[in-house]
Every structure is written in structure tokens, then in C-alpha cells.
Structure 1
């Protein structure tokens, strides 16, 4: 099967492309200028050069494909550089849907995120709007909503390596964020880290399983872990012990309101809000529905740190 991959040079895209090749599929990657070196096995893939905003390049990428996978997502936007949630997480999906219809590609797999909703942050809202657009497109769709994703980033941005860099390697104590005035539940909000390899397997399995059509899967790992516990695992995997202290979210949000426009500031107001909402699946049965066994999150899985 020939599969057009939009976002194939990113973190998840690397593993999806690798899994496609392992299963005997032919990936065709839309590659923006300057990202050619991010392709792991370029001789085994078809390459179309262009940006997601280039409708001609999108149609070229999808022409003759049997399916399309859309993986583009960003954690922060920088409008001055043309990097926005609206452009990359919503309009890019809308344009890819139009290209699919124009080229006769009926199968569309989309990655959004666990917790997306209509009235959420701009990140959550644009992901949700992309889902609505796909569901109303008339195409054969499948949507995957991963929690926080971990795995060897191989030079890309990834949850655990980013926390190691910004928090564990910092000389400052690790922040245990809490809402309100009293630190009674500091760092107790829960996440369900999911392996990038498992996410890639889910995508590629869906290509050949008709039962996955018109289905939405929340992809969460098998454990619900507190922020404090996750920081402890990352520290241990890094060969370190780390002091942790309660940190009021209001103070961090105040600082972010002044500084999160700059890429060097480690977290935005919206990221902190979403983090403290937690990120677990209410019904964590998607991997069982897919016939896959998810990977546990622990020191042994973080040797890349």
C-alpha cells in the first residue's frame, strides 16, 4: 500500500514511517525544505518537496496513494514565524482533506490528542475542529488521540528528553505544580505516557483493518502516573536524584504571560493549563480494541536518556 504521510519527518512521523516500511508499505513523505536530513531511510521512501500550506505539493503527495496519514502537531505557536495552531493543526487538515478528494484518496488517518475539546485551549480547539472537519468529509476516517508520547527522539522533541533538559538537568528544584493557595496536591495530577512505537503500530494496523474505520481511539499507556512520579522515573533513568518542591501554578502562569512568546522560555500558559488538567483516558481500552499490548513506562524504557 502506498501511504502519503503529512508530518513524516517529525517525532511520531519517524516511527510511523519505520513501521510502514516494516509492514511492507511504501511511504510517500511531504518534506519541507531543510528537513531532508530528518528522513531515516530516504532510498526506501518516495519524497515530495513542499510545505503543508502548498496545495499543489499536497495534491502531488496524495496522487496515486491508497491512504493518507496526517501527523502534524505543535505544542506552542509563534505567529511572527508563521507557526500557528490554526494553520498547522486545522487548516492543514482541511487542505489535506480537499487534496484527498481531488486525488481520489478515500482513507484518512489523523492524529490529534487526548483531551481535545471545542472550548479548550487553542491547541485543543484546533485539534478538535480538525476532527470535526474529517468526520464530516465523507472519507473513511480513523482518529487517534494519544496522551503524552515517549520514546527515543533521535534529535527531535520528545516528552521525557524535554523534561530532562528543562527540569532534571536544571540546578533548580523540580516544580510540583499546584492550583490555588495551598500545596495540598502538589504534583499529583496524572498522565498516562504512551510509547511512540505503540502509537506507530496502531496507525499502521488501522490501514488494513476495516473495523477501525469511523472510530476514535484514545491512546494512553497502561499506567496512570502522577507528575511527581514521572519526574522521579525520568531522574532515575538519567542516573540522578532530584529535589522537588511545590510550585504555585499562578506564579508560573504570571511569568509565562510575559515570557512565553520567546522560544527559550520552557512552558506556555496553555501548556501549563493542559498539563495540570491531567492526561489520562477515561476508558483506557483502545489498545485492547486494536489487539495491541501497550508498553509500560519505566526506567528500562528510557535508556535513551
Structure 2
């Protein structure tokens, strides 16, 4: 099967491209000029140079394919540089849907995010609107909603590597965020980290499973872990312990309101809000429906953090 992958040079895209190749598929990758070195196997893949805002490149990438996988996702936006949730999460999906329709490619798989909703943050709203656009497109669609994704980033942006670099490696104590006045719930909000390899397997399995059409799959790891437990595990994977202190979010939000438009500021107001909301699956049977056993989040699974030192 020929599969157009939009976002194939990113963290998740790298692993999905490798899984596609392992299953005998031919990925067609949309690659920004200068990012050719990020391609998993440039000989085995067809490369189309261009950006998601380049409609001609999108059409060329999708042409002749049997399916499309859209993976582009931003952790934060920088409007002054044209990098926005609206452009990458929503408009990019709309334009890719149009390219698929123009080329009679009926199968479309979208990576959304766990917790998206129409009245959430800009990140959540644009992901939700992209889902709605796809559901109304007339294509045979499948939507995946992963929680936070971990795995060897190989030089790309990844959840645990970022926390190691910005919190565990810092000489300052790790912040246990809490809202309100009293720190009784500091650092106890829960996430369900999911392995990037498990996510890749689910995406590729969906290509050949008609029963996955018109379905939304939340993808969470097998455990609900507190922020404190996650930081402790990341530190332990590097052979360390880490001091932690309660951190009220109000002053952090005020600082973010002034500085989160700058890339050097480590967190945005929306990221703080989504973090405190938690990120777990209410129904956690998606992997079982694919016949997969999700990988647990533990010290052994985070060996890549030790190797990156």
C-alpha cells in the first residue's frame, strides 16, 4: 500500500514510517527543504519536498496513494513566524483532505490528542475542529487520540527528554504544580504515557482493518501515573533522585502571560492548564481492540534517557 504521511519526519512520524516499511508499505513523505536528513529511510520512501501550506506539494504527495496519515502537531505556537495551531492542526488537515479528495484517496487516518474539545485551549479547539472536518469529509476515516507519548526521540522533541532537560537536569527542585492556595494536591494530577512504538503499530494496523473506519481511539498507556511519579521515574532512569517542591500555578501563569510568546520561556499558559487537567483515558481498551498489549512506563523503558547524557 502507498501511504502519504504528512508530518513523517517528526518524532511520531519517524516511528510510523519505520512501521509502514516493516509491514511492506511505501511511504510518500512530505518533507520540508532542509529536513531530508530526518527521513527514516530516504531510499525506500518517496520524498516530496514542500510544506503543508504548499497546496501543490500536498497534492503531489497524495497522488497515487491508497491512504493518508496526518501527524502534524505543535506543542506551542509562534504566530510571528507563521507557526500556529490554526494553520498546522486545522487548516493543514482541511487542505490535506481536499488533496485526498482531488486524488480519489478515500482512506484518512488522523492523529488528534486525548482531551480535545470545542471549548478548551487553542490546541484542543483546533484539534477538535480538525476531527470534525474529517468526519464530515465523506472519506473513510479513523482518529487516534494519544495521551503524552514517550520513546527514543533520536534528536526530536519528546515528552520525557524535554522533562529531563528542563526539570531533572536543572539544579532547581522539580515543581509539583497545584492550583488554589493549599498544596494538598501538588503534583498529583495524572497522565497515562503511551509508547510511540505502540502508537505506530496501532496506526499501521488500522490501514488494513475496515472495522476501524469511522472510529475514534483514545491511546493511553496501561497505568495512570501522577506528575510526581513520572518525574521520579525519569530521574531514576538516569540513576538519580530529584528534590521536589510544591509550585502554585498562579504566579507561573502570570509570568507565562508576559513571556510565553518567546521560545526561551519553558511553558505556556495553555500547557499549564492542560497539564493540570490531566491526560488519562476514561475507557482504556483501544489497544486490546487491536490485539496489542501496551508498554508500561518504567525505568527500563526509558533507557534512551541514559544513553542521551
Superposition TM-score, scaled by structure 1 size: 0.99
Alignment of 1:41-190 (within 5 A): 41-190=41-190
Moved over 4 A (4+): none
C-alpha RMSD of the superposition: 0.5
DSSP 3-state at the match of 2:304:
coil
CA offsets per residue over residues 102-157 of structure 1, 9 Å max, x none?
Answer: 00100000001000000000000000000000000000000000000000000000
State whether structure 2 residue 28 is matched by structure 1 residue 24.
Answer: no
Q: Quick check: 1:230 aligned with 2:230?
A: yes
Instruction: Name the SS of the counterpart of 2:217 in structure 1.
Output: strand
In the alignment, the residues of structure 2 paired with residue 188 and residue 179 of structure 1 have an alpha-carbon distance, to the nearest angstrom, of 11
Q: Counterpart of 2:43 in 1: which secondary structure?
A: helix
SS of equivalent residue, structure 2 residue 137: coil
1: CA distance between counterparts of 2:66 and 2:118?
Answer: 31
In the alignment, the residues of structure 1 paired with residue 70 and residue 106 of structure 2 have an alpha-carbon distance, to the nearest angstrom, of 13
Which residue is 1:262 aligned to? 262
State the 1:172 CA deviation.
0.4
Q: What are structure 2's unaligned runs of at least 5 residues? A: none
Corresponding residue for 1:7?
7
SS in 2 for 1:184: helix
CA distance in structure 2 between the aligned counterparts of 1:254 and 1:35, rounded to whole angstroms: 36
Q: 1:40 Cα shift?
A: 2.0
Aligned residue-pair number: 305
Indicate yes or no: 2:280 matched with 1:275: no
Distance (Å, rounded) in 2 between the aligned partners of 1:299 and 1:37? 30
TM-score, length of structure 2 as denominator length: 0.98
1:215 Cα deviation after fit: 0.3
- Secondary structure (helix, strand or coil) at the match of 1:292 reads coil
1:190-229 per-position Cα deviation (integer Å, ceiling 9, x unaligned)? 0000000000000000000000000000000000000000
Q: Distance in 2 between matches of 1:66 and 1:98?
A: 15
Q: Within 2, Cα distance between the matches of 1:113 and 1:192?
A: 12
* Whole-angstrom CA distance in 2 between matches of 1:292 and 1:127: 26
Q: Distance in 1 between matches of 2:23 and 2:177?
A: 42
CA–CA distance in structure 1, aligned partners of residues 60 and 73 of structure 2:
21
Counterpart Cα distance in 2 of 1:284 and 1:259: 37
Distance in structure 2 (CA, Å) of the matches to 1:284 and 1:250:
32
CA distance in 2, matches of 1:136, 1:41: 34
Q: Report the counterpart of residue 37 of structure 2 in structure 1.
A: 37
